Structure formats: C-alpha cells, structure tokens
Amino acid sequence: MTIRLIVVDDDPLVRAGLTLMLGGADDLEIVGECADGAEVPALVDRTGPDVVLMDIRMPGVDGLTATERLRARPDGPEVVVLTTFHADEQVLRALRAGAAGFVLKDTPPAEIVAAVRRVAAGDPVLSPAVTRQLMAHVAGKAGGQDREAARRADAATRLAALAGREREVALAVGRGASNAQIAAALYMSVPTVKTHVSRVLTKLGLNNRVQIALLVHDAELSRQPADRLGESGRSAPGGPRP
C-alpha cells in the first residue's frame, strides 16, 4: 500500500530535501507541499494524505494550530511535527493536540522514512517513555504549581471513569508497555488488549497511545509498581502468577 504524504514547511530548501528523500521510498508518495499552516486544510481536501509532516514554526498559521485543526476532523490525517528541538513545550502542545509524534529535522533520512511508515500503520513515533521524559522536562517551564495541580486532578478524574481492565491497560500504556507486554502481564490476548486500548481512546476522547501516556503521567499513576497495574493490585484471572 502506498502511503500518501504532504510536507508543510516554510523553508523551500527543507521542503525540497524532504520531498527528494521521502519520494525515493517505493511505498511513499508525496502528493503535495505548502509553506503555511493556513494552506493545509485545502491541500488535505485536494490530496487526501495519510500523513502530514508539519513544521512547527511558520510565519502565518503555525504548525501547532494547523495540527489542532486537522486532528479535530473526524477522519483527519496523522500528523508528525518537525522541530529542531527535542524538548520543546511546543512539541508537548502538538502531542496533546493529537500529533502522532515528532521528528528532529536532523534525523537520519532512513529514520524519518521509518517514522512515516510507523505513523501510517497506527503507531506513534514517540514512545510513551520518551513522552514522559519530555513532559517532566517541560513541566518546570509550563506554568505554576496551581496549574500543575489542576491538570493532575483533571487527569485523575478522567482515568477514574474507566472500567477496571481499561484502567489497567491505560496504566500499562502510560509506562510504555507494548500490546504484547500488556497481554502477558494481564493474561489477555493481544486482540483483547487492542480492544481495550480502542475503548480507552474513545472514552477519553483521545487520538493515540501517546495521549494516553500523557494523561497517565499527568495523574502520576505510571509510578505504580509494574506488577500492580490497577489500584486493587489484584491477581490476574486464573489465580496467582506462577
């Protein structure tokens, strides 16, 4: 399957370089490019991309605003933001807006191609563990203690609305566990784990696993021991673990 891609960056040299690099992959097709976030909605409507590579800083409508608008659409394309900083509160805002992750502009070409493929397959290009590190780094710069406390309280309230197994799966996602790891820890099948993840996304109004990880981190629940995925710490079905 060919992955349809558009590139959004105000630097024509960056656009040309990305287009040349990504266009060389057999399964990627560059279907459009533009220099401003204001042009993105119309370009998406015309070309129907699977993935948008989005620069953050642009002189007109910035990439963060454009990302929020795209991800608010019912069937909006996945977004990977481009940045020159690996720990930037603007990147955190993009993740909260529903971006599937971010790549640095100096990332090796093969890794950018791999990131696009992963996003198109439904996997974030930023692991939950790295997301938590990013958030911890930015937290000291992003507002005062009152704001932090309000965010933690809101996250805890939202997670409390999940059913028991859903909450256990959400906590595991928050610790960076893969579907296979969650299945082994909770004695589920991988398809069952995927079903629970989908339900968590729907109930919480989120777009991807990265946002689940951010919410869990906000609530500070990801610090629970690995063998106690839920508040009750109950054993998995079928009795105690061997």
Q: What is the mean pLDDT of residues 205-211?
A: 81
State how far the alpha carbon of 68 is from the alpha carbons of 63, 64, 108, 206, 237, in Å.
9, 6, 27, 12, 41
144-219 carries CATH number 3.30.10.20: no
pLDDT, tens digit, 9 for 90 and up, residues 61-81: 988 899 988 888 888 899 988
Q: Do domains 3-126 and 144-219 have the same CATH topology?
A: yes
Tell me the C-alpha distance between 174 and 30, whole Å.
33
Give the pLDDT of residue 89: 66
Distance of CA 48 to the CA centre of its chain: 21
pLDDT (0 to 100) of residue 140:
52
Share of the chain above pLDDT 70, in %: 79
At 83-142, the pLDDT tens digits run 776 555 666 777 777 888 778 777 788 888 888 888 888 777 765 545 555 655 555 555
Q: What is the mean pLDDT of residues 7-15?
A: 91
Q: Which residues make Cβ contacts (< 8 Å) with residue 153, sequence separation at least 6?
A: none
Higher pLDDT, 155 or 226: 155
Least confident of 36-45, 156-165, 193-202: 156-165
The model's pTM is: 0.62
The confidence score (pLDDT) of residue 91 equals 67
Averaged confidence pLDDT in the chain = 79
DSSP annotation of 37: G
Superfamily (CATH) of domain 3-126? Response regulator (3.40.50.2300)
Higher pLDDT, 136 or 18: 18
42, 25, 26: which is closest to 110 by C-alpha? 25
Domain spans in the chain, listed from the N-terminal domain onward: 3-126, 144-219
Bridging pattern class, strands 51-55 and 101-104: unpaired
